[in-house]
C-alpha cells in the first residue's frame, strides 16, 4: 500500500503497548553462550513486562516459558516463529500512526545488514506476527526497500536522524541517491526533515554505523550522543567529528540542538581480542522509564545513568547488564522493537 493520508513516526518516549524480543536459541550465534545470554534476556524481559506487554518470539520457546514463568501471564505473549537471530530492532515492523491513531506496520526488507549474514527467517517475522494476529493495523509491504529500525531515530514531529554510512550503503539499496532515500522516508514514514550524520563508526560494529549506537533524539530538542575525550582512543577523531557535525544541526524552528554527551564505555574485547561496539546510546525509552544498557563498569555506568536521568527528567532509569549482548556486537535497543497500543492485540 501507499499511504495517502499524513502519517507520523512516533518518538520512542511516547506511550508504547508492547515490545518484541526474539528468544536466543541453539541455531543462532548465541549457541556457545546460551545460558549467559538467556539470563540477560530474562532480566530484560522482566524490565519490559513491568512497563508494557511483552511479545517473545522464536522457534524454541520451552526455556523462555520456564525462565519467564514468574511474569504475569497477562503481560506476556509467546509466538512460535523461525528466526535467524535476535536483533528485532532491525527486522521488526516500523510503526507509524495516522491522525486518527490508526497504526501502519511497515515491513521493510532486512538483508542481514547489507548481506553480511543470513536473514531469511528474520525477514519473515513481521508477516508472521500479523498473519497470526499478534499485531494489528494496516500492513505496508516495503520489502523492496532495505531499512533497519536501528538506522533511524524520530522525534515524533517529522524529524528523522540517520547516518550516511548505513542508509547509503550500496549493499542495501543499490544506487539510490540521498535524495531518493529521503523521499522514501518522507512518503512512508512521514519524515519532514532528514538529518544526516556522516561520522562516528565504532570498532566491531556490523551495522555500518546505526544511529542508535551513536546519537539519539530526546525531548526538548535534545540530542544525546556518544562522546570521546581520549585522544589515544581509536574512536577519538570520528566521534569528535560527529560532535562537531551535530553542533551544526538545527531544529525545525532553526535553533541549535541541546547536545548532551554520553560517556564512551571503557574498551570491551571479545575472546579474539576484537573490540566490541559498547555504547550507552543503545537505550530504550518505555512508558516513563529508560531501560539502560550497562557493562559492568561502575563509574562509566553510573555517569551514563545520571546523564539520562537529567535529560529524561522524571523517568525511572533501569540499568540492565548487557555484557552478554555486546559479545555479539549488539545491545539493549538492538534487541527490542516497540509497538504502540493500537498495534498490539493482548
Catalytically active residues, by annotation: 334
Question: What does the alpha-carbon distance between residue 342 and residue 135 come to, in Å, rounded to a whole number?
Answer: 9
Question: What does the alpha-carbon distance between residue 199 and residue 243 come to, in Å, rounded to a whole number?
Answer: 9
CB atoms within 10 A of CB 62: 10
Closest CA to 266 of 253, 286, 256, 280: 280
Q: Which helix (H) or strand (E) holds 126?
A: helix 125-131
Q: Which residues of 164-178 are buried (b: 16+ CB within 10 A; e: fewer)?
A: ebbbbbeebbeebee
Q: Which residues of 85-114 are buried (b: 16+ CB within 10 A; e: fewer)?
A: bbbbbbbbbbbbbbeeeebbbbbbbbbbbb
Amino acid at each position: 500500500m501507499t499511504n495517502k493520508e499524513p502519517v507520523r513516526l512516533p518518538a520512542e518516549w511516547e506511550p508504547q503497548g508492547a515490545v518484541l524480543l526474539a528468544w536466543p536459541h541453539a541455531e543462532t550465534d548465541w549457541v556457545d553462550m546460551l545460558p549467559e545470554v538467556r539470563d540477560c534476556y530474562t532480566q530484560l524481559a522482566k524490565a519490559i513486562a513491568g512497563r508494557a506487554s511483552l511479545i517473545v518470539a522464536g522457534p524454541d520457546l520451552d526455556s523462555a516459558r520456564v525462565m519467564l514463568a514468574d511474569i504475569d501471564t497477562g503481560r506476556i505473549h509467546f509466538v512460535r516463529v523461525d528466526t535467524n537471530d535476535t536483533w528485532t530492532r532491525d527486522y521488526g515492523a516500523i510503526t507509524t500512526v495516522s491522525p486518527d491513531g490508526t497504526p501502519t506496520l511497515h515491513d521493510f526488507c532486512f538483508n542481514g545488514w547489507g548481506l553480511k549474514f543470513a536473514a531469511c527467517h528474520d525477514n519473515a517475522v513481521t508477516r508472521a506476527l500479523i498473519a497470526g494476529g499478534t499485531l494489528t493495523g494496516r500492513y505496508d509491504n516495503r520489502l523492496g526497500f532495505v531499512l533497519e529500525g536501528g538506522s533511524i531515530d524520530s522525534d515524533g514531529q517529522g524529524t528523522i536522524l540517520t547516518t550516511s554510512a548505513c542508509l547509503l550503503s550500496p549493499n542495501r539499496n543499490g544506487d539510490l541517491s540521498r535524495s531518493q532515500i529521503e523521499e522514501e522516508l518522507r512518503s512512508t514514514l512521514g519524515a519532514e526533515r532528514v538529518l544526516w550524520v556522516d561520522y562516528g563508526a565504532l570498532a566491531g560494529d556490523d551495522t555500518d554505523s546505526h544511529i542508535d549506537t551513536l546519537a539519539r533524539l530526546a525531548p526538548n530538542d535534545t540530542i544525546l550522543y556518544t562522546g570521546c575525550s581520549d585522544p589515544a582512543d581509536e574512536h577519538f577523531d570520528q566521534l569528535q567529528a560527529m560532535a562537531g557535525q551535530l553542533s551544526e544541526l538545527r531544529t525545525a524552528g532553526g535553533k541549535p540542538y541541546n547536545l548532551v554527551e554520553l560517556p564512551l564505555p571503557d574498551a570491551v574485547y571479545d575472546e579474539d581480542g576484537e573490540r566490541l561496539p559498547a555504547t550507552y546510546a543503545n537505550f530504550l525509552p518505555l512508558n516513563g522509564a529508560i531501560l539502560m544498557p550497562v557493562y559492568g563498569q561502575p563509574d562509566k555506568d553510573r555517569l551514563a545513568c545520571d546523564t539520562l536521568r537529567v535529560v529524561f527528567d522524571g523517568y525511572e532509569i533501569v540499568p540492565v547488564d548487557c555484557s552478554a549482548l555486546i559479545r555479539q556486537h549488539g545491545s539493549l535497543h538492538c534487541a527490542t522493537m516497540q509497538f504502540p497500543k493500537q498495534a498490539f492485540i493482548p
